[in-house]
Chains A and B, each alone.
Chain A
Amino acid sequence: MDSVRKRISAAAFVLLAALAMVGPGPLGLRDGQVAPPYSKPVWLDRSIAPPMDLRVGSGAGESATAAISWGYSAPLRVSLTGALGETGLVRWTTPSGDFVLTSTPGEIDLDARDIPFKRALGVSPFENMPSVLFPSRGDYALSLEGSGDVLMRIEGGRWGILGTDHRGRDMAALFVQGLRISLIVGIAATLIATLLGMSLGLVSGYAGGLTDALVMRAVDVLLSIPTLPILMVIAGIWGKGLWNLVMILSIFSWMGTARTVRAMTLTLRDASWVEGLRAIGARRNYILFRHLVPEALPLLLANVALGVPGAILAEAGLSFLGLSDPRLPSWGRMLHDAHMFGAFASGAWWSILPAGIGISVICLIFLDIGRKLEERADPRLVAKTDLRAIEETGA
């Protein structure tokens, strides 16, 4: 059972890492396109129009028609782009009458919200144009008479598999980008912190004396300062880039590793085989890096996996507080935007759930992998952490 669970979390990790590496582009997610703000996911509300394109093109003297059957409420945005030749005309046929959208030759770039467009159609500037163009359900047709090529883009309140955020960005694309940021920050910060903790732990454990006392006091002090406020202050001063964040996070998360490695070094330092190495004239660096580091390595690996959730949560927290680069679409940033720009005043739960669940799932995955690595590194731990094993000894 345990091996299956481990394989599930490992497989999930590989899957997520692959997703992060591929990015939103190849998955066909519309990255960078702008839809109406807080559009619902496409599978949510069938009475709202999904994004649609109507394209018609014809040569001189001919005409072309694109017809649709409209079964939704009025869209949010309608725009018309393309080009129209001499004596061309774009006609919009609705169940309750026809509109000549434009007959001006040349480039077309019209949006239903443009006031000149409304006036040209004889509609009051205060009217909501999409509901004038789409008065009811029924059959509609866009027809082009004369030469030209016209694209009508209709945007309802549905977009993508996860909807859009307050700026109309595709949530699914943001989610994949956020996954990448979370993984980079989490893994990089933990690796650096582990290296830092390992070297300080090794040095203080092996050297002892004043060095040891200094490092351990530093650990004690750093462990009893609330980290988030100091991270906030430093992020405010140092700037908010991705690597700044990684550095800041790693500076304040090496203490646990240092303690573990120091304790390990202390027990190993006086072990008879290390004493033997010293007796045959091995130098200190040789003992440290060829014998003690490999000994500590499995535990360090587990430490990395167990440290990643902390780093990811800290990054998310800082981004949530608005202390990350606004151009980096991280999961914390998505939640920050949702909180700041009234996602729940719009009832847009789809802009909150993916990021939050993403963070939680990735943390659970790393915790699970870390547990297993830890048990493998130190089989004595199995009795401590495995609940079933406890039950056996407790009975």
Chain B
Amino acid sequence: MTASLKRICGSLAVLLVVLALNFFLFRLMPGDPLTSIVDPRFSPEAKAQLAAQWGLDRPLSEQFVVYVREMLSFRFGLSMMTGAPVWDELKKRVPNTVALLLPALALSASLGLWLGVKAALNRGSLVERVVLWGGAVSFSFPSFFVQILLLMCFAYFWRIFPLSGTTSIPPPAGGAAVLDYLWHLALPLCSLVLMGFGGFALYIRNMMVKALGEEYVLMARARGLPFRRVVWNHAFRSILPPVLTILLLSLPGVVSGAVITETVFSMNGVGRFLLEATNSHDYPAAGAAFFCLALLTVVCNLLADAACVLVDPRVRRGARE
């Protein structure tokens, strides 16, 4: 119990740091947060009114309390560009980002797992070479370069996928809408999986090769257990906790990758919203988008932690004590 409590406290600390960073970065920057929307010709009264609208005239401590309340209640304050609540804009985009992120993570993890184990079992085979190359690519190729190449091949030269967007404009009605959505999602998702599986696969292969060389694996085989059972129930089972840790550590990178992916494919997601807000100096909107991405990471982190508890008896026993 204490272990999981500790994890949750850690996640809360991360969120708190994100909130504080968000708040102070925007308040401590040189100049006035309002400079982006205030014209020098505005009268002092108009400026004061605008400052009051965003609560910038109150003391910093009071602003912080209001800010934290706004963030935790998912209202996120008013956008400086539109004057409308940020959440109204953001809530349309969160599902799109989740629909890109989670399948990408799940697919690249499972593909990496499968290929990694296969490569460890068939040393020197084609699969192993694919895994080694995939790993090198995922560590050294910029994701956006690969994505631009994919776009150029499959959306420009050979027009089987759309060049940009989350849905067609105007979106088709009924069941075709789902197909249209998937059609637009296919290329970004494929690119994320292509860039993501190599790292996992390489890692799993290395650990699996080691695990297969252990004496208890040889022992299990000598006892006459079937090969598949030895591989999955003995060797693979033992490397599962560190694999989950790697998955956990790769999460922030995956979220960062989603931001770039959404920009390359002009998708209507939180990442592109963040970029647009940053470029137009819309600080409340940028802060809210960043908070959403951090929250997504923390939630995924907690899920991976929970999975860790499930697969690792040592952690489970520690939790019970």
Contact = CB atoms under 8 A, between A and B. Distances in A.
Interface stretch (B46-54, B87-95, B278-286, B307-315): B278-286
Interface residues of A, number: 49
A344 B152 contact: yes
The 4 A-B pairs at the shortest CB distance, nearest first, are namely A228-B256, A356-B145, A363-B140, A236-B278
The interface centre, meaning the residue of A229, A323, A390, A394 with most chain B CB atoms within 10 A of its CB, is A229
Contact of B152 (A224, A317, A323, A352): A352
Contacts of B123: 391, 394
A321 B139 CA distance: 20
Interface stretch (A29-37, A124-132, A187-195, A215-223): A215-223
Interface string A336-358: 00110000110101001001100
Interface string B283-306: 000110110011001100100000
A279 interface: no
Interface of B: 10, 13-14, 17-18, 21-22, 25-26, 29, 123, 132, 136-137, 139-146, 148-149, 151-152, 156-157, 206, 209-210, 212-213, 249, 251-253, 255-257, 259-260, 263-264, 271, 274-275, 278-279, 281, 286-287, 289-290, 293-294, 297-298, 301
A228 to B, nearest CB: 3
A352 B136 CA distance: 20
Contacts of A356: 141-142, 145-146, 148-149
Interface in A42-87: none
A122 interface: no
Contact of B290 (A229, A359, A364): A229
B219 to A, nearest CB: 16
A226 B255 CA distance: 6
Contacts of A387: 132
A317 B278 contact: no
A230 interface: yes
Contacts of A345: 156
A117 B182 CA distance: 55
Given A217-B13, A344-B148, A225 B297 contact: yes
Nearest to B31: A237
A254 interface: no
Contact of B259 (A217, A225, A232): A232
A312 B156 CA distance: 28
Contact of B13 (A221, A236, A355): A221
Interface of A: 217, 220-221, 223-230, 232-238, 309, 313, 316-317, 320-323, 332, 335, 338-339, 344-345, 347, 349, 352, 355-356, 359-360, 363-364, 367, 384, 387, 390-391, 393-395
Given A339-B264, A352-B149, A394 B278 contact: no
Nearest to A366: B140
A335 B144 contact: yes
Given A230-B21, A232-B275, A344-B152, A237 B26 contact: yes
Given A323-B278, A356-B141, 18 more contacts: A225-B252, A233-B22, A233-B287, A233-B290, A238-B29, A313-B142, A317-B256, A320-B260, A322-B279, A338-B148, A344-B156, A345-B156, A352-B149, A356-B148, A360-B142, A367-B139, A391-B123, A394-B213
A39 B298 CA distance: 47
A228 B260 contact: yes
Contacts of B279: 236, 322
B26 A232 contact: no
The interface centre, meaning the residue of B25, B136, B148, B290 with most chain A CB atoms within 10 A of its CB, is B148
Contacts of B263: 320-321
B274 A232 contact: yes
B180 to A, nearest CB: 22
A225 B19 CA distance: 12
A360 B14 contact: no
A232 B157 CA distance: 32
A235 B10 CA distance: 27
The interface centre, meaning the residue of A228, A335, A347 with most chain B CB atoms within 10 A of its CB, is A228
A309 B141 CA distance: 10
A16 to B, nearest CB: 14
Contacts of B290: 229-230, 233
A343 to B, nearest CB: 8
Contacts of B210: 390, 394
B145 A360 contact: yes
B289 A317 contact: no
Contact of A360 (B141, B206, B212, B293): B141
Contacts of A352: 145, 148-149, 152
Nearest to B141: A360
Given A229-B293, A394-B209, A367 B275 contact: no
Contact of B144 (A320, A323, A390): A320
Contacts of B212: 394
